[in-house]
Protein backbone atom coordinates (compact mmCIF):
# COMPACT_ATOMS: atom_id res chain seq x y z
CA UNK A 1 0.00 0.00 0.00
CA UNK A 2 3.03 2.28 0.19
CA UNK A 3 2.57 3.14 -3.49
CA UNK A 4 -0.46 5.22 -2.43
CA UNK A 5 2.00 7.91 -1.37
CA UNK A 6 2.59 8.61 -5.08
CA UNK A 7 -1.00 9.65 -6.01
CA UNK A 8 -1.26 11.44 -2.67
CA UNK A 9 1.84 13.47 -3.54
CA UNK A 10 0.45 14.24 -6.99
CA UNK A 11 -2.88 15.47 -5.60
CA UNK A 12 -1.17 17.57 -2.95
CA UNK A 13 1.21 18.99 -5.53
CA UNK A 14 -1.68 19.80 -7.85
CA UNK A 15 -3.20 22.40 -5.49
CA UNK A 16 -2.62 25.70 -7.39
CA UNK A 17 -1.79 27.92 -4.44
CA UNK A 18 -0.59 30.75 -6.68
CA UNK A 19 -3.94 30.82 -8.43
CA UNK A 20 -5.86 30.64 -5.13
CA UNK A 21 -3.82 33.47 -3.59
CA UNK A 22 -4.49 35.57 -6.68
CA UNK A 23 -8.21 34.93 -6.26
CA UNK A 24 -7.98 36.36 -2.73
CA UNK A 25 -6.65 39.54 -4.34
CA UNK A 26 -9.42 39.36 -6.91
CA UNK A 27 -7.29 38.49 -9.95
CA UNK A 28 -6.41 35.50 -12.08
CA UNK A 29 -2.62 35.28 -11.76
CA UNK A 30 -2.50 33.54 -15.15
CA UNK A 31 -3.53 36.81 -16.78
CA UNK A 32 -0.72 38.86 -15.26
CA UNK A 33 3.06 38.97 -15.48
CA UNK A 34 4.45 35.80 -17.01
CA UNK A 35 1.11 34.03 -16.67
CA UNK A 36 2.71 31.43 -14.42
CA UNK A 37 1.07 30.28 -11.16
CA UNK A 38 4.39 29.85 -9.37
CA UNK A 39 5.84 31.92 -6.56
CA UNK A 40 8.10 34.05 -8.80
CA UNK A 41 5.16 35.45 -10.77
CA UNK A 42 3.13 35.90 -7.59
CA UNK A 43 6.04 37.91 -6.11
CA UNK A 44 6.30 40.10 -9.20
CA UNK A 45 2.58 40.63 -9.61
CA UNK A 46 1.22 40.75 -6.06
CA UNK A 47 4.29 41.53 -3.96
CA UNK A 48 5.99 39.70 -1.11
CA UNK A 49 2.85 39.67 1.04
CA UNK A 50 1.47 37.03 -1.32
CA UNK A 51 4.73 35.79 -2.84
CA UNK A 52 6.25 34.51 0.41
CA UNK A 53 3.15 32.46 1.42
CA UNK A 54 3.02 31.05 -2.13
CA UNK A 55 6.69 30.07 -1.96
CA UNK A 56 6.24 28.35 1.40
CA UNK A 57 3.07 26.53 0.34
CA UNK A 58 4.62 25.31 -2.91
CA UNK A 59 7.71 24.20 -0.96
CA UNK A 60 5.54 22.23 1.48
CA UNK A 61 3.78 20.46 -1.40
CA UNK A 62 7.07 18.73 -2.15
CA UNK A 63 8.42 18.42 1.37
CA UNK A 64 5.35 17.01 3.18
CA UNK A 65 4.58 13.84 1.15
CA UNK A 66 8.26 12.88 0.90
CA UNK A 67 8.83 13.37 4.62
CA UNK A 68 5.73 11.31 5.44
CA UNK A 69 6.67 8.49 3.08
CA UNK A 70 10.19 8.32 4.55
CA UNK A 71 8.66 7.25 7.87
CA UNK A 72 7.31 4.03 6.35
CA UNK A 73 9.47 3.15 3.35
CA UNK A 74 12.43 0.76 3.64
CA UNK A 75 15.96 1.49 2.47
CA UNK A 76 15.99 -1.18 -0.25
CA UNK A 77 15.71 -0.43 -3.96
CA UNK A 78 11.94 -0.88 -4.04
CA UNK A 79 11.43 1.41 -1.08
CA UNK A 80 13.74 4.07 -2.47
CA UNK A 81 12.01 3.85 -5.84
CA UNK A 82 8.64 4.53 -4.22
CA UNK A 83 10.20 7.41 -2.28
CA UNK A 84 11.60 9.17 -5.34
CA UNK A 85 8.40 8.51 -7.31
CA UNK A 86 6.55 10.23 -4.47
CA UNK A 87 8.85 13.23 -4.86
CA UNK A 88 8.40 13.22 -8.62
CA UNK A 89 4.63 12.90 -8.19
CA UNK A 90 4.49 16.12 -6.16
CA UNK A 91 6.48 17.99 -8.81
CA UNK A 92 4.35 16.66 -11.66
CA UNK A 93 1.21 17.59 -9.74
CA UNK A 94 2.41 21.18 -9.48
CA UNK A 95 3.56 21.37 -13.09
CA UNK A 96 0.51 19.65 -14.58
CA UNK A 97 -2.39 20.29 -12.23
CA UNK A 98 -5.63 18.59 -13.34
CA UNK A 99 -7.61 21.42 -11.70
CA UNK A 100 -6.36 23.95 -14.27
CA UNK A 101 -6.29 21.91 -17.45
CA UNK A 102 -3.07 20.01 -16.65
CA UNK A 103 -1.08 23.21 -16.66
CA UNK A 104 0.85 24.71 -13.77
CA UNK A 105 4.11 26.17 -12.58
CA UNK A 106 7.73 25.29 -13.24
CA UNK A 107 8.17 23.22 -10.11
CA UNK A 108 11.21 24.92 -8.60
CA UNK A 109 9.80 25.56 -5.10
CA UNK A 110 8.07 22.16 -5.03
CA UNK A 111 11.28 20.46 -6.20
CA UNK A 112 13.20 22.29 -3.47
CA UNK A 113 10.75 20.95 -0.89
CA UNK A 114 11.12 17.39 -2.15
CA UNK A 115 14.91 17.71 -2.19
CA UNK A 116 14.92 19.10 1.35
CA UNK A 117 13.39 15.81 2.50
CA UNK A 118 15.47 13.59 0.19
CA UNK A 119 19.01 14.95 0.24
CA UNK A 120 21.64 15.54 2.94
CA UNK A 121 21.75 19.15 4.21
CA UNK A 122 25.21 19.80 2.70
CA UNK A 123 24.07 18.82 -0.80
CA UNK A 124 20.93 20.92 -0.49
CA UNK A 125 22.96 23.88 0.78
CA UNK A 126 25.26 23.62 -2.25
CA UNK A 127 22.28 23.66 -4.61
CA UNK A 128 20.84 26.71 -2.86
CA UNK A 129 24.25 28.38 -3.07
CA UNK A 130 24.42 27.70 -6.82
CA UNK A 131 20.97 29.23 -7.27
CA UNK A 132 21.74 32.31 -5.17
CA UNK A 133 25.15 33.00 -6.73
CA UNK A 134 23.91 32.55 -10.30
CA UNK A 135 20.84 34.68 -9.70
CA UNK A 136 22.83 37.40 -7.91
CA UNK A 137 25.49 37.63 -10.63
CA UNK A 138 23.17 37.49 -13.63
CA UNK A 139 20.02 39.06 -12.09
CA UNK A 140 18.00 36.31 -13.78
CA UNK A 141 15.92 34.05 -11.50
CA UNK A 142 15.32 31.72 -14.45
CA UNK A 143 19.05 31.32 -15.08
CA UNK A 144 19.61 30.54 -11.39
CA UNK A 145 16.91 27.87 -11.61
CA UNK A 146 18.38 26.38 -14.79
CA UNK A 147 21.91 26.29 -13.32
CA UNK A 148 20.58 24.53 -10.22
CA UNK A 149 18.67 22.01 -12.37
CA UNK A 150 21.86 21.18 -14.28
CA UNK A 151 23.88 20.88 -11.06
CA UNK A 152 21.36 18.57 -9.33
CA UNK A 153 22.18 15.25 -11.06
CA UNK A 154 25.87 16.13 -11.26
CA UNK A 155 26.03 16.82 -7.53
CA UNK A 156 24.06 13.66 -6.75
CA UNK A 157 26.43 11.53 -8.82
CA UNK A 158 29.54 13.21 -7.41
CA UNK A 159 28.33 12.69 -3.84
CA UNK A 160 28.04 8.94 -4.41
CA UNK A 161 31.36 8.83 -6.26
CA UNK A 162 33.28 10.77 -3.61
CA UNK A 163 32.05 8.42 -0.90
CA UNK A 164 33.08 5.34 -2.87
CA UNK A 165 29.50 4.13 -3.25
CA UNK A 166 29.64 3.86 -7.04
CA UNK A 167 32.76 1.69 -6.91
CA UNK A 168 31.23 -0.78 -4.45
CA UNK A 169 27.79 -0.70 -6.09
CA UNK A 170 25.91 0.65 -3.07
CA UNK A 171 24.95 4.05 -4.52
CA UNK A 172 21.33 5.16 -4.56
CA UNK A 173 20.41 4.72 -8.22
CA UNK A 174 16.73 5.72 -7.76
CA UNK A 175 17.84 9.04 -6.24
CA UNK A 176 20.16 9.72 -9.18
CA UNK A 177 17.39 8.90 -11.67
CA UNK A 178 15.08 11.26 -9.79
CA UNK A 179 17.72 14.00 -9.85
CA UNK A 180 18.17 13.51 -13.60
CA UNK A 181 14.41 13.57 -14.28
CA UNK A 182 13.69 16.49 -11.95
CA UNK A 183 16.54 18.52 -13.42
CA UNK A 184 15.48 17.75 -16.98
CA UNK A 185 11.86 18.61 -16.22
CA UNK A 186 12.85 21.94 -14.70
CA UNK A 187 14.91 22.83 -17.77
CA UNK A 188 12.04 21.79 -20.06
CA UNK A 189 9.60 24.00 -18.15
CA UNK A 190 12.04 26.90 -18.59
CA UNK A 191 12.29 26.52 -22.37
CA UNK A 192 10.44 29.82 -22.96
CA UNK A 193 12.84 31.54 -20.54
CA UNK A 194 15.79 30.03 -22.40
CA UNK A 195 14.42 31.48 -25.63
CA UNK A 196 14.04 34.92 -24.03
CA UNK A 197 17.54 34.70 -22.55
CA UNK A 198 18.93 34.06 -26.02
CA UNK A 199 17.01 37.05 -27.40
CA UNK A 200 17.94 39.29 -24.46
CA UNK A 201 14.30 39.88 -23.47
CA UNK A 202 14.18 37.88 -20.24
CA UNK A 203 12.99 39.77 -17.14
CA UNK A 204 15.75 40.79 -14.71
CA UNK A 205 15.46 41.27 -10.97
CA UNK A 206 14.75 44.91 -10.20
CA UNK A 207 13.34 45.67 -13.62
CA UNK A 208 9.94 47.31 -13.61
CA UNK A 209 7.11 45.06 -14.70
CA UNK A 210 3.36 44.85 -14.51
CA UNK A 211 2.22 44.36 -10.95
CA UNK A 212 -0.56 45.07 -8.49
CA UNK A 213 -0.14 46.72 -5.13
CA UNK A 214 -0.45 44.33 -2.25
- Evaluate if residue 100 carries a pLDDT over 70: yes
What is the pTM assigned to this prediction? 0.87
Residue 101 is given by DSSP the state T
- Residue 97: what are its φ and ψ, rounded to 5°? -70, 125
* Confidence at residue 213, expressed as pLDDT on a 0 to 100 scale: 41
Domain positions in the chain are: 2-199
Q: Which long-range contacts (CB under 8 A, 24 or more apart) does 108-112 make?
A: 108/38, 108/40, 108/145, 108/148, 108/186, 109/38, 109/39, 109/54, 109/55, 109/58, 109/59, 109/62, 110/13, 110/58, 110/59, 110/61, 110/62, 111/62, 111/182, 111/186, 112/59, 112/62
d(CA 206, CA 209): 9
Cα 22 from chain centre: 20
Confidence of residue 207 (pLDDT cuts 50, 70, 90): low
By CB atoms closer than 10 A (0-12, 13-18, 19+), residue 180 is middle
Kindly report, residue by residue over 39-58, the tens digit of the pLDDT: 989 998 999 999 999 999 99
On the CB side of 150, CA atoms within 13 Å amount to 10
d(CA 12, CA 52): 19
* Confidence at residue 76, expressed as pLDDT on a 0 to 100 scale: 82
- Mean pLDDT value of segment 106-126: 88
Name residue 103's beta-bridge partners: 97
Count of H helices and E strands in the chain? 10, 0
* Confidence at residue 95, expressed as pLDDT on a 0 to 100 scale: 95
Name the nearest CA neighbour of 6 among 73, 79, 83. Answer: 83
d(CA 132, CA 54): 19
Amino acid sequence: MLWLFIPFAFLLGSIPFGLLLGKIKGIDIREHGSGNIGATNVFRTLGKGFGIPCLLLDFCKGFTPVLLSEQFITQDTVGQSILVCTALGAILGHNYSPWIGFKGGKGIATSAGALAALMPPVALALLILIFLITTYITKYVSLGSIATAIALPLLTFYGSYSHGKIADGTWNKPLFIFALLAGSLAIWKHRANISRLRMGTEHKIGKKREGLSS
